[in-house]
Amino acid sequence: LKALVKNGVDYATELGMYVIVDWHILHDLDPNKYKTDAIAFFDEMSKEFKDQDNVIYEICNEPDQKPWSNIKNYANALLPTIAANDPNAVVIVGTPSWDQQIWEPVTQGKVTHSTLQIMYAFHYYACSHEGLLGSFSSATASIPVFVSEWSGVTFSGEGELCQNAADKLLAYCYKNNDGKQLVSWCFWNWGHKYEGSSTFNGSCSSNNLTTIGN
């Protein structure tokens, strides 16, 4: 898997793209469960990519219901390892409840580091999470936010496009709807996974776009 990650970074770099190196902890509940492994992984990756300015590190993607304090303690333990190798790197820190409680770092205390560029993850599925947009907008007034996963369907990745709620998110990201900062985002998903969120139906061709792909 580490070879796959490194190859992926090479491909993205060749194409002039940013790339996120992601430690996904779904169902582990608490990111501290595999903290030692995460430190070793990001030590290796930040040494490998220290001279590349297109690499972003996402250190705990989708932590479950554990409190923000657990995530914050995990981040504070892990960030010095990245900084030792890649001191000016951009790092995305996850937020509780599968990256939905974006207000927690605002109300419970931010992660800080003297050199790293720290952002906070927000995940959004239009048919399920429209009610979170107010908190998302409020958070963007106080902390740097990255929507590292979003789609126009339900959180399961299935269902029909909820275009109005999807457009609302993009309006906040582009500061058209009281958004407080220009927010970057990654869309789920650019593939043909045979689920409602997929961009393509069959081959990855502009002739095979799904409704959400269009």
Catalytic residue numbers? 62, 149
DSSP 65: S
Residues 6+ apart with CB under 8 A from 145: 102, 119, 120, 121, 122, 136, 139, 181, 183
Do β-strands 145-151 and 19-24 pair in parallel, antiparallel, or remain unpaired? Answer: unpaired
For residue 183, CA distances in Å to 24, 137, 198 come to 22, 10, 22
Determine contact, residues 210/200, Cβ cutoff 8 Å: yes
Q: Which strands form 90-93's sheet, in the order they lie side by side?
A: 19-24, 55-61, 90-93, 117-125, 145-151, 185-187
In angstroms, rounded to a whole number, what is the distance separating the alpha carbons of residues 159 and 77?
A: 39
Of 188, 183, 165, 163, nearest to 173 by C-alpha is 183
- In 55-95, which residue ranges form alpha helices assigned H by DSSP? 68-85
